[in-house]
Amino acid sequence: MADPTLPEEARQRRRPTLPEEARQRRLEGARREASTAQGPARIHITAAKGTTRGSLLLTHGAGGGVDAKDLAAIAATLPEHGWQVALVEMPWRVAGKKVAPMPPKLDAAWREIVVAVRGDLADRVVFGGRSAGARVACRLAAELGADGVLALSFPLVPPGKGPDKSRIGELVLPVEAGLPLHVVQGARDPFGSPDAVREALRGALGDGSADVHVDEAPGTHSFTGGQAVADLVAAHLESTAP
């Protein structure tokens, strides 16, 4: 089990003191690159409307980019609710590769990206991702001081595989570290339906699974429409934000 004191310690380490003018500039919309050992990552930042309540640092999966309909809808919707959205194109995608690297390389790149863009984000930061990106967010949220995790289309069990291949151990890492976790799963996701995710969470966390919010969205692993997903994410953030 992860050390429950780690998130707060990490949050304290990562919050630089900035003059108010610089603080406002960092929340403005922009596109920038972040250098990593695997090549540059590209970050698309959409500023929040009005007072910024927090930032969502959100990345794609192994089979697509930040133009996925759910990610694009989230980037268009959350700013209306006071959330800055930073969509991250991982280095392998920027380089034009068609296949994502193995998890250790994804994690190494995410660590470098978070360090590079942290000053452009609000104090409160939620890590998020779809599919393989959700796994990265779950694995590194506590280590890197995130304030919560959004997991879209979490690939619980690869199609055709048995429960011994379940990734529930990754999904519960933020919860074990005391962080809020929101899962949005396609109703017919072959990697795990919403009910399958809930059952796996109950098996891993017992009564603690009640603290995890699992939403159902239309579609499969790719979702039918992005706006339904964005609306679920916005509603959850509205209900949990201080």
Distance CA 117, CA 13 (A): 15
The size of the chain, in residues, is 242
**Order of strands, sheet of 41-46, starting from the edge strand that comes earlier in the sequence:** 30-34, 41-46, 83-89, 54-59, 125-130, 148-152, 181-186, 213-217
| pLDDT of residue 205 exceeding 70 | yes
- Residue, of 127 and 20, whose pLDDT is higher: 127
Question: pLDDT tier at 2 (50, 70, 90 boundaries)?
Answer: very low
Token readout for 52 is: 């910024």
The backbone torsions φ and ψ at residue 54, rounded to the nearest 5 degrees and listed phi first, read 175, 180
Question: pLDDT tier at 29 (50, 70, 90 boundaries)?
Answer: low
Question: pLDDT tier at 202 (50, 70, 90 boundaries)?
Answer: very high
Distance CA 34, CA 88 (A): 10
**What is the average per-residue pLDDT within 134-161?**
97
Contact between 138 and 106 (Cβ < 8 Å): no
Digit-coded pLDDT (tens) for 179-194: 999 999 999 999 999 9
Q: Rg of the chain over CA atoms, in angstroms?
A: 17
pTM of the model: 0.88
Contacting residues for 35 by C-beta, under 8 A, at least 6 apart? 112, 116
Contact between 111 and 144 (Cβ < 8 Å): yes
Looking at residue 225, what is its pLDDT?
A: 85
Q: How deeply is 200 buried, as exposed, middle or buried, from its count of CB atoms within 10 A (0-12, 13-18, 19+)?
A: buried
Contact between 129 and 109 (Cβ < 8 Å): no
Mean pLDDT of the chain: 90
| pLDDT of residue 136 exceeding 50 | yes
Digit-coded pLDDT (tens) for 85-102: 999 999 999 999 999 999
Token readout for 73 is: 């809808």
Looking at residue 139, what is its pLDDT?
A: 98
- Residue, of 23 and 220, whose pLDDT is higher: 220
The structural domains of the chain, ordered by start, are 29-240 (3.40.50.1820)
HSE-up (13 A, CA, CB side) for residue 135: 18
**What is the average per-residue pLDDT within 17-40?**
67
Looking at residue 14, what is its pLDDT?
A: 46
Question: pLDDT tier at 8 (50, 70, 90 boundaries)?
Answer: very low
Digit-coded pLDDT (tens) for 98-129: 999 999 999 999 999 999 999 999 999 999 99
| pLDDT of residue 16 exceeding 80 | no
What is 49-84 written as a DSSP string? SSS--EEEEEE--TT--TTSHHHHHHHHHGGGGTEE
| Residue 241 amino acid letter | A
**What is the average per-residue pLDDT within 150-159?**
97
**What is the average per-residue pLDDT within 231-237?**
97
Distance CA 117, CA 134 (A): 19
